[in-house]
Amino acid sequence: MITDTTMLYLYTETPLHAGVGSGLSSIDLPIQRERTTQYPMIQGSGIKGKLRATAEEAKVEQAIINILFGASIHEQKGEKSNSDEKDYAGALIAGDARILLFPVRSLNGVFAYTTSCDILNRFKRDIERSKGSAALPWSVPDNDDKVALVTTSNDVASNNAIVLEDFSFDVQASAQVKQQVDTIADWIANNALPPLGTGSYWPNKVRSSLVILPNDDFRDFTLHATEVITRVRINRDSKTVESGALWTEEHLPTDTLMYVPMYATAARNNGRTMSANDVLKEAKKLELLTLQLGGDETVGRGIVRTRWSE
């Protein structure tokens, strides 16, 4: 039974390709998406596998690894001697990574961190799910007028309008709504944004560039404003493009912010006692400042900064 939860935040520093194999669209290798909403996501199995690999590289005690992640495939096959832990699943549960902020090219301010009321309501539901969790100190503003909601001191709007990619949006002029957006931006900057090593620049960028879009428009940007990279394979002998070896890959763009709901149960293994809270504490001990997720590791894709919810 799940008895404790926390949140793991992921901020992409390079384009990230968490793929699904071949696709039916014009993109040969699309990214993972939710079935109904088509929002980008990263499956929890890949994240949990990366956490396990990180623990093993950090030489964490094997018994702790087995408590968190379950026995390895070798132990399950009996290749390691008489371990009672091999029959028990791991106590750490990784949910799917979901989108929170999606960067979109802006006429002013270089780019905007976009989100939507749907995304914020889902995030609020996820973070307040566990029993006893404190409610977030902000509420999601209504956007019945189908306009862009921005912060009070924003640098992306001009003359009560904002231009993202090739689309123009009217800006909500209500001071009360802008104060609501200010509170959301400030909370994300203080509690969800990983440390990016440049002082206050990126937290202030969130505070000045957060834009809450209408749900449909945000969904369309996450569908059509991702980064599509064309790749080729070179013939080793001729040093020219291999015949037929041209393909396109879809990537989450740099500066995307995602969140991963992390759950824990008490340790399931025989002979070991560990509470769900202690399971999360052990997970947080892993050195996760920077991770590599998804494919194309050897060409620098998928570098993410991380932050555990406090």
- Average pLDDT taken over every residue of the chain: 88
What are the structure tokens assigned to 32, written together?
Answer: 């993972």
Q: Average pLDDT in the 162-183 region?
A: 93
Read off the pLDDT band of 87 (50, 70, 90): low
Q: What is the mean pLDDT of residues 86-108?
A: 91
Give me the mean pLDDT over the 50-70 stretch: 90
| Mean pLDDT, range 275-304, rounded to an integer | 90
Quick: pLDDT tens for 245-264: 788 899 999 999 999 999 99
More confident residue, 190 or 289: 190
Output the pLDDT for position 271: 66
Alpha carbons 54 and 59: distance in angstroms, whole number: 9
More confident residue, 233 or 178: 178
Q: How far is CA 6 from CA 34, 95, 262, in A?
A: 22, 11, 5
Query: Which amino acid is located at 163 in the chain?
Result: V
Residues of each domain in the chain carrying CATH 3.30.70: 1-18+44-95+252-310
Q: 165 near 225, Cβ under 8 Å?
A: yes
- Residue 16: helix, strand or coil by DSSP? strand
Q: What is the mean pLDDT of residues 81-109?
A: 84
Whether 96 has a pLDDT exceeding 80, the answer reads yes
Q: Band of the pLDDT at 130, cuts 50, 70, 90?
A: low
Q: Residue 36: CB partners within 8 Å, gap ≥ 6?
A: none
Contact, 124 vs 114, CB < 8 A? Answer: no
Reduced to 3 states (helix: H, G, I; strand: E, B; else coil), residue 68 is: helix
Label residue 37 exposed, middle or buried (CB < 10 Å: 0-12, 13-18, 19+): middle
The token duo for 202 is 């990126």
**For 236-246, what is the mean pLDDT?**
75
pLDDT, tens digit, 9 for 90 and up, residues 135-163: 889 999 988 788 999 999 999 999 999 99
CATH number 3.30.160 is the correct assignment for the domain at 1-18+44-95+252-310 = no
Instruction: Please report, in angstroms and rounded to a whole number, the separation of the first and last CA atoms in the chain.
Output: 22
pLDDT of residue 286: 85
Q: Residue 185 — very low, low, confident or very high, per pLDDT cuts 50/70/90? A: very high
Q: How many CB atoms lie within 10 A of CB 175?
A: 8
CB neighbour list of residue 71: distance below 8 Å, 6 or more residues apart:
83, 85, 86, 87, 88
CA gyration radius, the chain: 21
Q: What distance in Å separates the CA atoms of residue 304 and residue 306, rounded to the nearest whole number? A: 6
Task: Return the number of other C-beta atoms located less than 10 Å from residue 197's C-beta.
Answer: 10
Separation of alpha carbons 305 and 303, rounded Å? 7
Predicted confidence (pLDDT) at residue 86 exceeds the cutoff of 70: no
pLDDT band (50, 70, 90) for residue 14: very high
Query: Which stretches within 22-130 are classed as H helix?
Result: 44-57, 62-69, 73-76, 117-127
Model confidence at 85: pLDDT above 50: no
Determine how β-strand 111-116 pairs with β-strand 210-213.
parallel
What sign has the CA pseudo-torsion 175, 180, 181, 187? positive
The 10s digit of each residue's pLDDT in 16-31 is: 999 887 666 678 889 9
CA–CA dist 6, 166 (Å, integer): 38
